[in-house]
Amino acid sequence: MLTQAYPYPFAGRPLPCLVGGELVSHGRTFENISPVNGALLATVTEADAALVDRAVRAARAALRGPWGRLSTAERCNLLRKVAERIEQRFDEFVSAEIADTGKTLEQARSLDIARGAANFRAYADLATARGSECFEMATPDGRGALNYSVHKPVGVVAVIAPWNMPFLLMTWKVAPALACGNAVVAKPSEETPSSAALLAEVMQEVGVPPGVFNLVHGFGPGSAGEALVSHPDVNAIAFTGESATGAAIMRSAADSVKALSFELGGKNAALVFADADFEAAVSGTMRSVFSNCGQVCLCSERVYVERPMHARFVDELARGARRLKIGGPYEGADLGPLISRAHREKVLSYYRLAREEHGEIVCGGGVPAFGDERDGGAFIEPTIVTGLAEDARCVKEEIFGPICHVAPFDSEEQAVQMANATRYGLTAAVWTSNLQRAHRVARQMEVGMVWVNDWYLRDLRTPFGGVKLSGLGREGGMHSLAFFSAPMNICVKL
Ligand code: NAD
């Protein structure tokens, strides 16, 4: 039943760090556990502060070496080779990602790993095509001057990634950072080290010079993460993860005034108007609530439906949720496990809280029983709740699991007000067939990204990020290139 279609690439060997072109696999280790059945997948080399320091020094040295002298075109050609090599080793990447996360084979193939390769190609193309500013100016002597800007790298960039889409989110930052000529020290989540370890191999295989891409494994506080973000010689931090972690990183980074780009948590709303295409709104909301077992920062955890459609919508959503097949990655399931038993405990605590806060659990609310090794995993039931007050903790706090609260609204103004009544501001989905309303409501959402009549439709050139507690700055397209570059103006007297 749990047939593993592709062998796990690190079976029987510890996952190494990569520092200055050297694979390091001695010292302290921690365990990488399968969320599918609780089995030990591999041990992982944990970088201590000394190894992180070596990685940062290696990155600094690489900037002064051949890497620093490559043209943008040469650098980007190397990144295209990284994309090609990921595609050649596609099944290994898929297997690594699936082993760490338990996500479905279909998603790992079509989204996570495919996008990982696409990130390198997209940023290679964008960086190659980028121009620069030029301003002619008058001078008192009439000769004039010419200002032009050059894009220099920021320097040593720390990339810190979460576990929900490990490879997609790490490459989303590593690719533009390298395209802009920086050197990177990357730290994947302690829950999902494997695809990053394969990326380290790929970097070596295609000839990325030593020190340009360094990989350190470990945890946050008191481990590799904290050592990296507080290192005085790191110039910029690109981080995706929880809002509270972003705040902690900001404090660590303050002393050396590092540039920060943060993609943080969300408590996203979907607004379904009574004039929406009912089937499309239900199936889109199913996707926006349950994709990746609800572990996507863009997922909707608050669904607001115009009152005349509310009861029918809840019924249909619950019918869909009950039909979802829960299971392991190679079983054609719709819903894999959560990332870990610890995260399942957190999500289950919200299932309990929803009852305590007088919500009605329309479906789900517990843990499935399989009667086989999957009972040792982190599976959980998709859950729909109604009847909570708008100030209930379940409506206010990010849960990051397959759960949503569905509430009715009576007017467009009320819908907008409810959607915006949160400290987060990442995404919103608006379902309506009224074109004017679509534009009007979309604009009023206090978020970084709105989808109208869809969800998670992504063009990599568009700005990506959030407002309020959901982030700082924008990535995507030229926004990423701007963050990872330090423009320098050169003024030439004519
Ligand atoms: P997390 O904040 O617990 O961990 C993220 C990373 O930060 C991990 O690599 C972790 O080891 C590291 N870390 C933790 N504490 C640190 C510290 N003090 N210093 C340095 N590094 C530290 O997040 P997670 O649980 O891995 O991911 C889930 C969260 O990420 C959710 O809140 C989700 O909404 C958010 N997320 C946001 C986006 C987005 O684009 N906005 C995308 C995906 C996930």
**132-162: pLDDT as tens digits:** 999 999 999 999 999 999 999 999 999 999 9
Strands of the sheet with 213-215, listed across from one edge: 22-24, 17-19, 213-215, 183-187, 156-160, 236-240, 259-263, 471-472
Residue 230 in contact with ligand 1 by CB distance below 6 A: no
Element (H, E) at 166: helix 166-179
**Which numbered atom of ligand 1 lies nearest the CA of 266?**
34
DSSP string, 59-97: HHHHHHSHHHHS-HHHHHHHHHHHHHHHHHTHHHHHHHH
- The pLDDT, as a whole number, for residue 112 is 98
Ligand 1 mean position, distance from CA 245 (Å): 6
- The pLDDT, as a whole number, for residue 26 is 87
Ligand 1 mean position, distance from CA 297 (Å): 10
Contact 211, 62 (CB under 8 A): yes
**Which numbered atom of ligand 1 lies nearest the CA of 249?**
19
Percent of the chain with pLDDT over 90: 98
Confidence bin at 71 (pLDDT 50/70/90): very high
The pair of structure tokens assigned to 195 is 């695809």
- The pLDDT, as a whole number, for residue 6 is 80
Ligand 1 mean position, distance from CA 375 (Å): 27
Mean pLDDT of 415-424: 98
Residue 424 in contact with ligand 1 by CB distance below 6 A: no
Q: Which residues pair with 185 in a beta bridge?
A: 158, 214
State the average pLDDT for the chain: 97
Letter string b/e over residues 172-210, b meaning 16 or more CB atoms within 10 A of that residue's CB: bbbbbbbbbbbbbbbbbbbbbbbbbbbbbbbbbebebbb
Mean pLDDT of 68-95: 98
**Which numbered atom of ligand 1 lies nearest the CA of 339?**
25
Confidence bin at 246 (pLDDT 50/70/90): very high
The pair of structure tokens assigned to 104 is 């479905």
Residue 163 in contact with ligand 1 by CB distance below 6 A: yes
Q: Is the pLDDT of residue 225 over 70?
A: yes
Ligand 1 mean position, distance from CA 296 (Å): 12
Residue 216 in contact with ligand 1 by CB distance below 6 A: no
Q: Give the Cα separation of 217 and 307 in Å (integer).
A: 49
- Residue range 448-483, pLDDT digits in tens: 999 999 999 999 999 999 999 999 999 999 999 999
Q: Is the pLDDT of residue 276 over 50?
A: yes
Q: Is the pLDDT of residue 260 over 60?
A: yes
- Residue range 18-53, pLDDT digits in tens: 999 999 998 899 999 999 999 999 999 999 999 999
Q: What residues are annotated to the active site?
A: 263, 297
**Residues present in the chain in total:** 494
Q: Is the pLDDT of residue 4 over 70?
A: no
Q: Is the pLDDT of residue 3 over 60?
A: no
- The pLDDT, as a whole number, for residue 55 is 98
- The pLDDT, as a whole number, for residue 313 is 98
Q: Is the pLDDT of residue 2 over 90?
A: no
Secondary structure class of 429 (helix, strand, coil)? strand
- How far from chain centre, in Å, is Cα 206? 25
Q: Which residues pair with 236 in a beta bridge?
A: 157, 259
Ligand 1 mean position, distance from CA 73 (Å): 33
- The pLDDT, as a whole number, for residue 453 is 98
Letter string b/e over residues 322-331, b meaning 16 or more CB atoms within 10 A of that residue's CB: eebebbbbbb
Q: Is the pLDDT of residue 1 over 50?
A: no
Mutational test site, ligand 1, from 242, 456, 470, 474, max ligand atoms within 8 Å of CB: 242
- Say which residues have a Cβ less than 8 Å from residue 478's Cβ, sequence separation at least 6: 126, 130, 461
**Which numbered atom of ligand 1 lies nearest the CA of 163?**
26
Q: Residue type at 208?
A: V
Please tell me what DSSP assigns to residue 139. Answer: -
